[in-house]
Homo-oligomer: A and B are copies of this chain.
Amino acid sequence: MNAATTPGKGAATRELILEHAYELARQDGLEGLSIGALALGVGMSKSGVFAHFGSREDLQLALLDATGKRFFDFVMAPAIKQPRGLQRVRTLVERWFEWARIHQSGCVLVSAVAEYDGRDDSPLRTRVKQQQSSWRSEMARAIRLAMEVGDLRADLDPDLLAFEIYALMLGLHHDAGLFGFEQASRHAHAAIDRLFASYQP
């Protein structure tokens, strides 16, 4: 409607493209994502899809951003609605479990870390690094609040606990993909419970 707000209606198809790209990247990762296959999926021409991003790398970056936002909305947003403390941290973990359950056939973010953990810097790697760093900070913040409230021991290292949780969720993702979600979830849940118990004040 407004000229200053929406530049055009083609932004909707951009969303559609990213939606399909998300499904493709879940199976073959960001590096396995090809514009030809993507165009076939959305029922457009290759050049039509390409024009929306200008380059494959920009498409990958856009998809990475969209996925990061999706993950944040799915996991962190519900947690923030909880009162600060252990309950918020537990909600965060619980939503993460749900995310892993839905994405047991492959998560774009998890594979992205593995794909760009090399030494040489690329725009993709930089973005992945930013995302992971920011997410770890969010976790550490929630943990710190739980310490202040008194739900967790005051002498713990928030970054360490954030690492421990993150590692267990990585284990969940990997085991879910290989051995099925049920078994992986049992192990991860037990490990998480043991972890929180060990940090009780």
Contacts and interface: CB of A to CB of B under 8 A. Distances in A.
Contact of A111 (B115, B133, B178): B115
Interface in A163-191: 163-164, 166-168, 170-179, 187-188, 190-191
A29 B119 CA distance: 14
Nearest to A111: B114
B31 A191 contact: no
A143 to B, nearest CB: 14
Interface in A96-143: 105-106, 110-111, 113-115, 117-119, 128-129, 132-133
Contacts of A164: 168, 171, 187, 191, 194
A106 B133 contact: no
A151 interface: no
A27 interface: yes
16 contacts: A28-B31, A29-B114, A113-B178, A118-B177, A128-B178, A129-B179, A159-B187, A163-B188, A163-B191, A164-B171, A164-B194, A167-B167, A167-B191, A170-B174, A194-B198, A198-B198
